[in-house]
Amino acid sequence: MKKVLIITYYWPPSGGAGVQRWLKFVKYLQEYGWDPIVYTAENGEIPEIDISLEKDIPKSITVLKTPIWEPYKVYKAFIGQKKNQKINAAFLNESKKTSRLNNLAIWIRGNFFIPDARKFWIKPSIKYLSNYLSKNKIDVVISSGPPHSLHLIAKELKKKYKEIKWVADFRDPWTNIDFYSDLKLSHWADKKHKRLEKEVLAESDCVISIGRSLNNELIQLNEKINQNSKFKIITNGFDEDDLAKTEITKDEKFSIAHIGTLVKSRNPEGLWKVLKELVTENESFGKELEIKLVGKLDISVKESIEKYGLAEFVKKIEYLPHDKVIEEQQRSRVNLLLVNNTQNAKGILTGKFFEYLSAGAPILAIGPVDGDLALILNETKAGFISDFEDTQTLKNNILTLYKNQNIIRNEKAIKNYSRKNLTKKLSDILNELTK
């Protein structure tokens, strides 16, 4: 059996979206002739703890862990945050206060920790893995970012072990990520980020990304035109094993559920406006509506809900383990999918979308109607999408789902996005690299 070394920062017991992709690939890779060895951080700054995910780790695989030093303790002390508080991702702000110290900390983060705060793990990891590779035969190394520091670990390993193939996996963009401009980068720092990104794209043997738009962006960034064939797409997906084995009773109310963090750029101002109109115009709709919000909320979301007088309809649920999240998705009448209203919106294709596909409840999406999400949503017939400012179409979509939630989905197309089928696609790429 061929061996693949997977370098990933997020690994159980870490919860959150970042862990799912490679956990599920690892779960199924052995079925397709590949033995995965996972390298991860022993003590990383993880968003949430989710022990339930550990059941998906095959007992037969090797998991290598080394300590990591991260500047988060210093960062927390600098901005007055408690040691046990988690660092919010994607500039989520849960309070009204944004101090000057916080802005300074962001500037320091963007200009001194390049490509990210895990940069201090690069050299120790290269040393540790070089020793491991000198004693163990590995056919392929895969680095998964963000954090993009992990690509720099793999880049140095590739220089030392030229016979080993290197796959760089982009779960999110690097310099085109939606909060890149919020990092307050100097010209020098911006130039360094872009140089490192181009080096990773040029020196890796294969680049995998999660969608059509991101794939095209990375191809355009790569300066070696003759390498275009090495850019591949493997989307995120859903694991059929995750679905509840017992029958889930649907919510009695017309529940619209959003699962996951709601940051400022994802705050659906148009949705709150439309829902306010509907509860005002339609008494029965108001009696049946329930807005389920599972996860952390930016302060802007809370303020919008109050502004439109919707607080009485909101059911707020804190972080749930992944198995309970899946049940909540199956229980809801409608699953709400919100795309960040940012410059890279067309290419945003979250892992949550594919879990929504498997849950069976219709999807109500807000985002670009010509983006990657809309393409798959139309292919699978799994729900409806309206553009950010198109409140009339959004209103029509909600009323359609309120009156009839039994939409006819394309189950054959949906099946293509199962984690097992996607792992088969990954194994085909690895076989092609090493044939």
Mean pLDDT on 188-203: 96
* CATH code of the region 240-415: 3.40.50.2000
- Mean pLDDT on 272-295: 96
What is the pLDDT, as a whole number, of residue 89?
53
Dist. CA 83–CA 76, nearest whole Å: 7
In 3D space, the residue among 409, 288, 286, 300 whose CA is nearest the CA of residue 358 turns out to be 409
Query: 146: closest CA among 120, 174, 182, 178?
Result: 174
CA distances from 305 to 316, 333, 413 (A): 12, 20, 36
| Whether the Cβ atoms of residue 230 and residue 205 lie closer than 8 Å to each other | yes
pLDDT band at 228 (very low <50, low <70, confident <90, very high): confident
Q: Structural domain boundaries of the chain? A: 2-237+420-434, 240-415
- Range of weakest confidence among 149-163, 218-232, 383-397: 218-232
% of the chain with per-residue pLDDT over 70? 92
- 202: tokens are 């040029």
- Give kind and range of the element (H or E) at residue 29: helix 20-29
Q: In sequence order, what are the beta bridge partners of 2? A: 34
309 — alpha (psi -120 to 50), left (phi > 0) or beta?
left
The residues facing 208 across adjacent strands are: 169, 232
Mean pLDDT of 411-429: 97
CB 129 within 8 A of CB 159: no
Classify each residue of 359-397 as buried b or exposed e, where b means 16 or more C-beta atoms within 10 Å of its C-beta: bbbbbbbbbbbebbbbbbbeebebbbbbbbeebebbbeb
Least confident of 126-135, 146-155, 396-405, 422-431: 396-405
How many of the other CB atoms lie within 10 Å of CB of 326? 22
- 262, β-bridge pairs: 297
Q: Average model confidence (pLDDT) for the chain?
A: 91
150 pLDDT exceeds 80? yes
Q: What is the mean pLDDT of residues 278-292?
A: 95
Whether the domain at 2-237+420-434 and the domain at 240-415 fall into the same CATH topology = yes
> Which pLDDT score, from 0 to 100, does residue 75 have?
56
Separation of alpha carbons 389 and 397, rounded Å? 14
Model pLDDT, residue 84:
58
The predicted pLDDT at position 179 comes to: 85
Q: Which secondary structure element, helix H or strand E, spans residue 34, and what is its range?
A: strand 34-41
The pLDDT tens digits for 312-357 are 999 999 878 888 888 999 999 999 999 999 988 999 998 899 999 9
Average pLDDT estimate for 269-296:
95
**Rounded-to-integer distance, Cα 123 and Cα 126, Å:** 5
Over residues 382-390, the mean pLDDT reads 97
Would you state the pLDDT for residue 318?
Answer: 83
Q: State how far the Cα of 354 lies from the Cα of 350, in Å rounded to an integer.
A: 8
Mean pLDDT of 180-199: 92
pLDDT higher than 80, residue 396? yes
Check whether 1 has a pLDDT greater than 80: yes
Second CATH level (architecture) for the domain 2-237+420-434: 3-Layer(aba) Sandwich (3.40)
Q: Is the peptide bond before 58 cis (omega within 30 degrees of 0)?
A: no
Band of pLDDT at residue 304, cut at 50, 70 and 90: very high
| pLDDT per residue as tens digits for the range 312-324 | 999 999 878 888 8
222 φ, ψ to 5°?
-75, 125
| Number of helices and strands in the chain (H, E) | 16, 13
Whether the Cβ atoms of residue 125 and residue 154 lie closer than 8 Å to each other: no
Is the pLDDT reported for residue 91 higher than 50? Answer: no
pLDDT of residue 86: 52
Give me 28's structure tokens: 């199924």
pLDDT of residue 133: 97
List Cβ neighbours of 56 (8 Å cut-off, separation of 6 or more): 12, 23, 24, 26, 27, 239, 241
Beta bridge partners of 385: 365
Residue 97 has pLDDT above 70, yes or no: no
Q: Which residues of 63-84 are buried (b: 16+ CB within 10 A; e: fewer)?
A: ebeeebebbbeebbeeeebeee
